[in-house]
Amino acid sequence: MRIILCENYDELSEKAAGIVASQVMLKPDCVLGLATGSTPVGMYNKLAEMYKNGEIDFSQVRSFNLDEYYPIKKDNDQSYYTFMRENLFSKINIDPNNTHIPNGETDNPKAECENYEKMIKQSGGVDLQILGIGQNGHIGFNEPDASLNSYTHLTKLTENTINANSRFFNSYDEVPKQALTMGISTILSAKKIILLASGASKSTVVAELLNDAINTSVPATMLKTHPDVILICDRDAYMGTKLGIDIGGTNIKFAVVEGDCVKYKSSVKTERTCEGIIEAIAKEANSIKEQFNIKKVGVGTPGIIKNGMVTSVNLPFENTNLEKLLKERLGLPVTVDNDANCAALGEIEFGTTKECDNIVLVSLGTGVGGGIIMNRQICHGNNNMGEIGHIIIQTEGGRKCPCGLCGCWEQYASATALIKDAQAAALENKESVLYGLMEKNSSRLDGKLIFEALDQGCETAKAVFDKYIFYLASGIESLVNIFGPDAVVLAGGVTKQGDKLLAPLKEKLRGNIRIEISELQSDAGALGAAML
C-alpha cells in the first residue's frame, strides 16, 4: 500500500481528484467505483471545478457506487442516490444512464445484489475504486465481523456505524439499520484503489490499518492483499491527537494538539534529578492520556541529542535515553528533539509565520539559541545544527565563550550580554540615569531597567543599546545570508519590549528581511514538540 500524506483536507481532495482525473483522461470510458460519506466531498468539488474549467470530460465515464442504505427511498435527503446527484452527478456531464447505485427501494434485495454484481462484471470491471473508511474500519458497508462477504450483499449496520452516520439524520432512529454494499471481493477486483482518510477521528483506524495484520475485525486491512492501493490521508488522520512536552530548566510544559487546534495546556515544576523529571512527566502525561486519545508524544529538551541519547548541561541528562525511558512509562511512541528545534517547529506550525516554508528562530535569553526550519522541516545536520549562538561575529579580540571559541554571537546578543554591557557602561558613567537605576536596585541591572533608562533618555543606556542592536543585526544578517529564510522569528525575554527592540533593529537590517517577534514565546516548544 502506498501512502500519500497530505498537510490537510484540501490537499487530500486535490490529490485524489488528480488521480481520478488522470484515470478519466487516460481512459475516457473508464469505470469508476464511487464512494459516499463526508470524506470524498472535497474531491467531488474539485472534479466538478475541473469539469467546469473544461479540463475533464465525463461523457463516456461509467460509475458504480459502493453502497446504499436499505431500505431507503431514492428521494430521501440522506439516500446515497441524492448524495451522488447533489455532490457530483448534477455538476458534471456524466450520462445518468451510465451511473449505478444499489437500489435501496427494491423489495428483492438478493436479486438486486446479484444483478448489481453482474452489471459490474459486464462493464469490464472497475478501473479505479474510491473508498472512504469507517471509524470501525469498514469499507463500503463491509462491517467488522468474524467472516466477511465476498460479493454485493445486504448487510446489517453495526451500532458504531449507525451512531457515526446519525449525524446526517434527525435522530439515531431514522438511520436505516441495513445496507446494500459491494463485498470485499467486489472491491478488491478493482484494478486500482484509492482510500481516503481525513481527520483525527480516523487516526485510530488508520494506525490499525497500517500496523495490524490482515483481519476481518478491521475490514480495510483486506486492502493489503491488493497490489495497487494508495492511502491518501491528511496529517490528522495519520497522526491523531498528539502530546507535546517541553522540558525547561524551571518548568515542564505540556500541550495537546489535534490538527490546528490546541486542546489543552499545562505545566509542572522541573525536578532536579533525571528520575524525578521522568516521574513528573509520566504522572502528568498519563493523566492527560486519560482525558485525550493521545496517539504519540513529542519531547523537546535542551542539550545535544546523538543517536537518541540526550546530554544537557542545564538538566541532569548525560547520555540519557529519554525516548526509551518515556516510552516505557507512557506506553506510546515518543520522539525527542532539541528544545529550540521544537520551538522553531512550533512557530512555523502555530505562530505568526504559519504561512512560511522556511524560518530561523532566534531565542535571546541567557544565551542565543535557535532552530532552523527549511521546507517546514527541522534541519538537524549531523547532530546539533542550529547552535546559532556560536556563529562568530568578532574575529580579533572576540569575547571568550564557554564553548571554547572567541567572538561567539551569544557573547554579544544574548540578554545576559546586554545586561553585562550595560552594567559595565553604568559603572563607567556614574552620573547616568542607568547607574542611578542600578544603584536603586541593589547595584543590579536587568533588561527592564535598561529599557526604563532608555525611556528616560539616558545617553549611556542608548550607547549600549545601539551597540546591542548592531550586534543583533550582524548575526541576523549572517543567518539570512546562509539560510535565506522567509522570516526570522525572535523570541525570549528581551523581545517582550516589542517595537522598542524591533523598530531600531529593522532600521539596521536590510529592508528585505522579514523579522517578527514570537507571539507564542515559551509555549512554542511544547506545541512544536507535539508536531515532531
Which sequence positions are flagged as catalytic? 67, 136, 138, 143
- Under rule CB under 6 A, residue 165 binds ligand GLP: yes
Q: Is 429 left (phi over 0), alpha (psi -120 to 50) or beta?
A: beta
Closest to ligand GLP by CB, 66 or 231: 66
Give the closest residue to 6 by CA, choosing from 378, 376, 347, 257: 376
Range in contact with ligand GLP (rule: CB under 6 A) among 4-12, 29-37, 208-216, 499-507: 29-37
Interaction with ligand GLP in 283-312: which residues (CB under 6 A)? none
Cβ proximity to ligand GLP, 35 vs 360, nearer residue: 35
What DSSP string runs through 23-64? Answer: HHHH-TT-EEEE--SSTTHHHHHHHHHHHHTTS---TT-EEE
CA distance 30 to 63: 8
Task: Give the number of other Cβ atoms within 10 Å of residue 104's Cβ.
Answer: 23
Q: How far is the CB of 352 from ligand GLP (least distance, A)?
A: 33
The residue (of 220 and 326) whose beta carbon lies closer to ligand GLP is 220
Q: Which of 9, 32, 37, 176 binds ligand GLP (CB under 6 A)?
A: 37
Closest CA to 198 of 39, 47, 87: 39
Contact call for residue 143 and ligand GLP (CB under 6 A): no
Mark 51-90 with x for binding to ligand GLP (rule: CB under 6 A) and - for no binding: ---------------xx-----------------------
163 binds ligand GLP (CB under 6 A): no
- The DSSP call for residue 398 is P
> Is the previous residue joined to 71 through a cis bond, with omega within 30 degrees of 0?
yes
Q: Among the candidate windows 37-45, 359-367, 373-381, 503-511, which touches ligand GLP by CB under 6 A?
A: 37-45
Shortest spacing between CB 223 and ligand GLP, in angstroms: 13
Other CB atoms within 10 Å distance of the CB of residue 55: 12
Q: Does 140 bind ligand GLP (CB under 6 A)?
A: yes
Q: How far is the CB of 233 from ligand GLP (least distance, A)?
A: 12
Q: Which residue matches cell numbers 467531488?
A: 44
Residue 505 makes contact with ligand GLP by CB under 6 A? no
The distance of closest approach from Cβ of residue 270 to ligand GLP in the complex, given in angstroms and rounded to an integer, is 42
Find the DSSP H helices in 374-513: 410-413, 415-428, 433-440, 447-455, 459-483, 499-508
Where are the strands (E) in 203-353, listed by range?
229-234, 241-247, 251-258, 261-269, 294-301, 304-306, 309-311, 334-338
Does residue 38 interact with ligand GLP by CB under 6 A? yes
Q: Which residues bind ligand GLP (CB under 6 A)?
A: 35-39, 66-67, 132-134, 140-141, 161, 165
